[in-house]
Structure 1
Amino acid sequence: MEEMTNESGWRGSREGWLDAASEALLEAGVDSVKILPLAKKLGLSRTSFYWFFRDREELLQALVGRWREKNTGGLVQQTLAPALTPAEAMLNICDCWLDSRMFDSKMEFAIRSWALQSDDISADVRKADQERLDALRQMFVRFGLSEVNADVRARTTYLVQIGYITMQTEEDIETRMQRIPDYIEVLTGTTATQAELQRFAARHGYRPA
């Protein structure tokens, strides 16, 4: 809930400051995430920042926490989503790549760029990578694959998508959807049924031209 101050009228909110910091990170990198420019962007006093964060470092850590919760949490959750076949399970994972509410690729790129400047953030990224890979590997194991095979398929799945993100590859929805069946076959060694593909397309609001 937003709160009033005598000095500025509004203190804003913790989420509002985080949203502004996130936008700055995406637009110009971590060096642009500074208190005074954010305050000006929000139309708030600089002092109102300190109602929600001790300092800039706490704000930066909150950004990392938001990334971790959304991207790692979203991907891990999808590995546990109900699926009767490996193809269906992989389509659940593909939901992440098409729905930024589950996995924010722009934030992923920004955090990985930040990691090039910071050993601490680099360690956070390595930890997230391992957690995500472990979740993907366990997903494959649940479908009867050996630990080695599951590990290779998990790495292939994950590294392909991270490659998409770090190379800032852009695909329109038509191109991505046309490629999905072949990706499923390559990544799982199985073929998605027409019904599975139709359910996947429907939940992303896609209808073939």
Structure 2
Amino acid sequence: MKTQQQVKTKKAELPESNRLTRDDWLDQAFWAVVAGGFENVKVQSIAEKLKVTRGSFYWHFSDHADLMASLLARWKLQQISLDQKLDSQRSGDPVKDLEDVVDAAFTQAGATLENLRFEQALRSLSHQNAEAAHMLAEIDAERMKLFESKFMAIVKDTKKARDLSVLLYLAIVGSYQALSRPVNPPNIRIYLQTLISTYLVQKMATK
């Protein structure tokens, strides 16, 4: 049986590239975006945070552009997976199903609003980056399709479901902007979510 010291020695002998994964680099790139936007993603800075040399980076990515493309692709996959999961949820109560979507939208912002800040940075990037703009258009379309399907189960009217989906999307985007302010009243997230749930979800079920 190997002693603890032998295990530590074995790990120390591993090349840096074997001790880290692509996701380790992508995680640090994500937090770099959260902290300062996409221009803040620098290979040397990430290597320092991971306590490895810059050379380790090239075991996982061909260049900085590959890192950025991989980061965007991972984000897109996460968003699509979440939407598909929410779309497949059918509790038998369409109002609850839509409230679950609203709850997921607020939870998705992240415990420290990290996901919200990443998406805001991505939307800023999309003004100069056609690939990012196209990807965001795809994600927005998927979200709208999800909202429409949930509203349709409540109101049974295609145009009304579409219109309500637009209002819900605007309410969520506006809430994100409010949440991202440097200073906010206490419990602002709960307050905003309750407003949306009360006036855009529950009231629709009584009409």
Deviation per CA, 1:17-66: give whole Å up to 9, x if none: 01111111111111121212211221111111111112211211111122
Q: Tell me which residue corresponds to 2:66.
A: 58
Structure-2 change in CA distance of 1:122 and 1:156 (3 Å): same
The farther-off stretch of 102-111 and 41-50 is 102-111
CA 1:9–1:175 in structure 2 vs 1: closer, same or farther (change >3 Å)? closer
Give the aligned partner of residue 145 of structure 1: 156
More divergent stretch after superposition (170-179 vs 116-125):
170-179
* Letter of the structure 1 residue corresponding to residue 119 of structure 2: E
Q: Describe the superposition over 1:99-124 as per-residue Cα deviations: whole angstroms up to 9, x where unpaired.
A: 24889322221211221221211111
Tell me the distance in 1 between the aligned counterparts of 2:125 and 2:35: 12
What is the count of residue pairs matched by the alignment? 189
Q: Which moved more, 1:36-45 or 1:64-73?
A: 64-73
Structure 2: gaps of 5 or more residues:
1-10
Deviations 1:116-164 (A, max 9, x none): 2212111111111111111211222233522111111111111211222
In terms of fraction of residues, the more helix-rich structure is: 2
Contact 1:11 1:45 in 2 (8 A): no
Distance in 2 between the 1:161 and 1:33 partners?
28
Structure whose CA Rg is larger: 2
Q: CA RMSD in A?
A: 2.9
Which residue number corresponds to residue 8 of structure 2?
Answer: none
1:186 to 199, 203, 206: 199
Task: Tell me, yes or no, if the aligned pair for 1:10 and 1:44 is still in contact at 8 Å.
Answer: no
TM-score by length of 2: 0.77
Q: Could you tell me how far 1:191 is from its partner in structure 2? A: 5.8
Q: TM-score, normalised by structure 1?
A: 0.76
Equivalence for 2:166: 155
Residues 105 and 72 (structure 1), Cα distance of their counterparts in 2 relative to 1, 3 Å cut: farther
